[in-house]
Amino acid sequence: MKTYQAWRLGIGDLIMPAPRHRPPLKRPMWIIVLISMVSLLLIGAYVYPPRRYAACYIFSSEGCKTLEWIPPTPVRDYTDDELVTRVVIRDILMTPPVQSKNPKIAFMFLTPGSLPFEKLWDKFFRGHDERFSIYVHASREKPVHVSRYFTGRDIRADKVVWGKISMVDAERRLLAYALQDPDNMHFVLLSDSCVPLHDFDYVYNYLIDTNISFIDCFKDPGPHGSGRYSEHMLPEVEKKDFRKGAQWFSMKRQHAMITLADSLYYTKFKLYCKPGMEGRNCYADEHYLPTLFHMVDPGGIANWSVTHVDWSEGKWHPKAYRAKEVTYELLKNITSIDHSLHVTSDEMKEVQQKACMWNGMKRPCYLFARKFYPETLDNLLHLFSNFTSI
C-alpha cells in the first residue's frame, strides 16, 4: 500500500490532492525520487522493449517462447591487420581515380610462351593506338612476337603452376606493371587461348563507360565450391562468404589497387587454398578474387566474366574449339548470349541464370572467348571483320 501511494505520488502529483501539512521533507522526498526513477524505467521498458525479455515480462503468457531473440550480426573485434586492410580498401573505394584525359585499357596476357592469336589481336588493335596498353607475362619461355603492338611488352615473369598461388602472383604482377601507367583505367586479364568477339570500339566503350568490374562470382555450396573452404581461414574469411568464379577478370582501376593493397586475405588463400589442402583441391585463382570482392565491394562487381567459356560438356576442362567448329554461326551464337550461367557442383546441379545488366540495360555478356586451338587462327582472321560487326 505504501509503495502504491508512493507510486501515485511519483507520477500523479496532479491527481493527488496536495497534502495538508507537509511532512519533514528529507526521507519521503528521497523515496519519491527513487521510486519515480524506477517507474520511469518501467515506462521506458514498456515503450522500448528490449526484444525478447520485454515481450516475456510485459505481455507474459503465450508468444514469449516463440519470440526468438535474433542477435545483431556480431561485430568481431578486428585484428590489427584486418582493421588496416578494411580501412585502406574502404578509402580506395571512396576515392575515384584521377580522371585521365586519355583513358586506356590494359590488356594483360597470361601465357606460357608465344601468343598464337597475336595476328588477330593486331587486327583488333590497329587504328586505336593511344587507347590501350599491352602487358605479356610469359611464364615458360620468351615469346616470339609477330605484331609490333606486342614487341617489347613482355614483363618480368615467373613460373606459374596451374591452380597454385603462383597464378594469382602472376595476375598481381601484371596489375602492378599495368598500374604504373596512370592512363590505364580498366584492366583485362586474357590467356593465350582468348580471342576478341567485337571490334575495339565496342570493347573499349563497354569497359570504360561503366563503373563495374567484371569479376565472375557465385556461391557454390557443392564440393567444388564451399567444399574447398578451410576453417583455417577464420576469422577473417567465413564460409558464408566463400565464392567461386573463373579467373579471367576485367577490373576497374580502384579494384586493381585493392588487389595489390590486400595482403591479409591474399595470405589466407596462399596458405589455406591450395591443391591437396586437407584432402581437398582448392584453387586460389578460382576463389581468391571472387571471395575478396564479394566481401569488400559486392555491388561493384558484375558477378560474371566478359570472357566466354563453354563448360556445357561437363568435363574437367572447358570445351576447346577446333578449326572446323569455328564458323560465323558459332561466333554469332556466343556474341548473342545475354545471360550468365552458373551451375552448382552439389547433387542439385542448380543452374543459376542471370540477365547480363550493363548500366541498368540488358546487353550481351561477352567481349572475349576461350578456348581456341591455334589452328583456328586462319578462320578467325577470315571471319573477324564479319562477326565483330554483329
Ligand X SMILES: *[C@@H]1O[C@H](CO)[C@@H](O)[C@H](O)[C@H]1NC(C)=O
Yes or no: say if 154 and 127 are a contact pair by the CB < 8 Å rule: no
Q: Tell me if 210 contacts ligand X by CB under 6 A.
A: yes
Of the candidates 123, 244, 255, 294, which one interacts with ligand X according to CB under 6 A?
Answer: 294
Query: Which residues are registered as beta bridge partners of 358?
Result: 361
Q: Tell me if 211 contacts ligand X by CB under 6 A.
A: yes
Distance of CA 118 to the CA centre of its chain: 31
Binding-site string for ligand X from residue 138 to residue 157, where x marks contact by CB under 6 A and - marks none: --------------------
Write down the least CB distance from residue 302 to ligand X, Å: 5
- CB nearer to ligand X: give 167 or 302: 302
Write down the least CB distance from residue 330 to ligand X, Å: 4
What is each CA distance from 56 to 47, 60, 61, 68, 343, in whole angstroms? 14, 5, 7, 11, 46
Cβ within 8 Å of residue 270, ≥6 positions away: 165, 168, 284
Distance between CA atoms of 91 and 89, rounded to whole angstroms? 5
Touching ligand X, residues 316-355 (CB under 6 A)? 327-330, 333
Half-sphere exposure of 305 (CA within 13 A, CB side): 25
Write down the least CB distance from residue 389 to ligand X, Å: 8
Touching ligand X, residues 91-120 (CB under 6 A)? 96
Candidate segments 50-58, 106-114, 186-194, 295-303, binder of ligand X by CB under 6 A: 295-303
Task: List the grid coordinates of 159.
Answer: 613460373
Handedness of CA 206, 209, 213, 218 (dihedral sign): negative
Write down the least CB distance from residue 209 to ligand X, Å: 5
Candidate segments 127-135, 136-144, 192-200, 379-387, binder of ligand X by CB under 6 A: 379-387
Distance between CA atoms of 21 and 231, rounded to whole angstroms? 74
- CB nearer to ligand X: give 122 or 310: 310
Write down the least CB distance from residue 237 to ligand X, Å: 15
- CB nearer to ligand X: give 55 or 383: 383
- CB nearer to ligand X: give 96 or 235: 96
Angle in degrees, CA 90, 95, 98, rounded to 5: 150
Yes or no: say if 179 and 256 are a contact pair by the CB < 8 Å rule: yes
What is each CA distance from 250 to 72, 203, 333, in whole angstroms? 36, 11, 22
- CB nearer to ligand X: give 208 or 271: 208
What is each CA distance from 342 to 120, 128, 190, in whole angstroms? 29, 34, 20
Q: Tell me if 382 contacts ligand X by CB under 6 A.
A: yes
Q: Tell me if 302 contacts ligand X by CB under 6 A.
A: yes
Q: Tell me if 383 contacts ligand X by CB under 6 A.
A: yes
Candidate segments 27-35, 84-92, 167-175, 209-217, binder of ligand X by CB under 6 A: 209-217
Footprint of ligand X (CB under 6 A): 96, 209-212, 294, 298-299, 301-303, 327-330, 333, 359, 382-383, 386
